Structure 1
């Protein structure tokens, strides 16, 4: 679960294979099921963070990637070309770096995500 800059609460629901975003009023703003990313396997969101641009970054463990959405749930891109095997932990620091825990190897990958 993560809260973005506009006050939305973003939750990854691995049981329902969806991301749910709820606004300040408690109403569901949107749901994201991974379809726009056109990945080979079913979407399986595990961890979620939001950045200073209110973008939503979701670790998709089935597809070994990170899916990035804008604050309105529109798919922006998939980060899948940096050896993410079982992304199962996710954190973003103030310097624009993503810290990704990898279930398969026990490693932590650091990805420079935002330019300062």
Structure 2
């Protein structure tokens, strides 16, 4: 679970294979099920974090990638070219680097295209 800069609460629901984002009032703003990302296996979200740009970043353990959404749930891109294996945990540090934890290691990724 992560709180975005706009006050939304972002949750990865591993039972429903969905990301759910709700407003402060509890009203559901949107759900994300991995569509329209081009993925081979079913979407299996685990770790979730938001960044300084209010982007929502979610690990997808089945596809060994990260899904990046804007604050309104629009799919921006997948990060799948950095050798991730079963990513489950995420943190963004003060410099904007993304720390991705898997079952046996941690990778640091500079994922922002334009700082």
TM-score strictly above 0.5: yes
TM-score by length of 2: 0.95
Q: Structure 2: which 5+ runs fail to align? A: none
1:38 is displaced (CA, Å) by 2.1
| Aligned equivalents of 2:88, 2:11: Cα separation in 1 | 15
Matches for 1:87-106 after TM superposition, within 5 Å = 87-103=87-103, 106=104
For 1:11-30, what per-residue CA distance to the aligned partner results, in whole angstroms no more than 9, with x for missing partners? 00011000000012210000
Report the equivalent of 2:49.
Answer: 49
TM-score by length of 1: 0.95
SS in 1 for 2:36: helix
Report the equivalent of 2:33.
Answer: 33
Q: How many residue pairs end up in the alignment? A: 114
Matches for 1:1-116 after TM superposition, within 5 Å = 1-103=1-103, 106-114=104-112, 116=115
| Aligned equivalents of 1:15, 1:86: Cα separation in 2 | 17
SS in 2 for 1:36: coil
Q: Structure 1: which 5+ runs fail to align? A: none
SS in 1 for 2:15: coil
For 1:41-97, what per-residue CA distance to the aligned partner results, in whole angstroms no more than 9, with x for missing partners? 000000000001110000000000000000000000000000000001111101010
1:6 is displaced (CA, Å) by 0.3
Runs of 4+ in 1 over 2 A off after TM superposition: 113-116
